[in-house]
Amino acid sequence: MEERMLLGKIMAERLVNLVNSDLEVGGYFIAEVTPQGIILYQGDVDCGGKTQVSLNNNSFQKYMGAYLAYPDQTQVVLMHTHNCKWGEKVLPYNPYWSVNPDMDSLRFERGTVVNGFYISKKFNSSCDNGVAESVHKEYSLDYHLFVHPRHNSEGAIMTPGLVEITSYIYDAGSFSRVREIPTSVIEGKNV
């Protein structure tokens, strides 16, 4: 299987629109494993200002059931957003996956961007890399979708055209605990 995340145009448009909010959104998707990559099919989002999705609700358990029944054919992909309403200024940390300073990132200055990752200014157990590591250890889930303002857009006025969808796979050897993989929008897919 090629390490690539594939999503349909309708799903991509819906994900872009999630960014136009004051509240960060988390969620998860059931995906099919194909030779071309992982194709996202169905998802649920949690809009409550939470930066972490609930892993105890019925939808997540349903997706996990499908994954456990068909682990070679399916995956559960976790998703979260860093939001900025259209017309507002993109903040310095909005475009980047957050890295917790209690990890290897201590060697970097807090509040800076290193290799496309924002070094968080404060300890936060729900930083993006901490969540990736915990779901890997507890559920063996390694794929993540991150919907955010485009890298290097901090200070710009937010528009739908600035939204980027980035995919990651868990990587224990990386200071960020994830590694970016290609993301493609599939034309003609109704998912």
Contact 96, 118 (CB under 8 A): yes
* CA atoms in the 13 A half-sphere facing the CB of 56: 0
Identify the pLDDT of residue 82.
92
Please report, for the chain, the start and end positions of each structural domain, with discontinuous segments joined by +. Answer: 5-186
Token digits for 100? 């917790």
CATH 3.40.140 fits 5-186, yes or no: yes
Q: Which residues contact 10 (CB under 8 A, 6 or more apart)?
A: 189, 190, 191
Nearest alpha carbon to residue 129 among 177, 179, 77: 177
* CA atoms in the 13 A half-sphere facing the CB of 151: 13
Identify the pLDDT of residue 64.
92
Distance CA 97, CA 113 (A): 10
Nearest alpha carbon to residue 189 among 1, 2, 14: 14
Q: pLDDT (tens digit, 0 to 9) for every residue of the chain, 191 residues total?
A: 889 999 999 999 999 999 998 888 888 899 999 999 999 988 888 765 544 556 667 778 888 999 999 999 999 999 999 999 999 999 999 999 888 766 554 577 878 888 888 888 666 556 677 788 888 888 899 999 999 999 999 999 999 999 999 999 999 888 788 999 999 999 865 55
Distance CA 89, CA 15 (A): 20
Residue showing tokens 């961007």? 113
Identify the pLDDT of residue 51.
45
Contact 186, 39 (CB under 8 A): yes
Q: Which residues contact 123 (CB under 8 A, 6 or more apart)?
A: 100, 101, 102
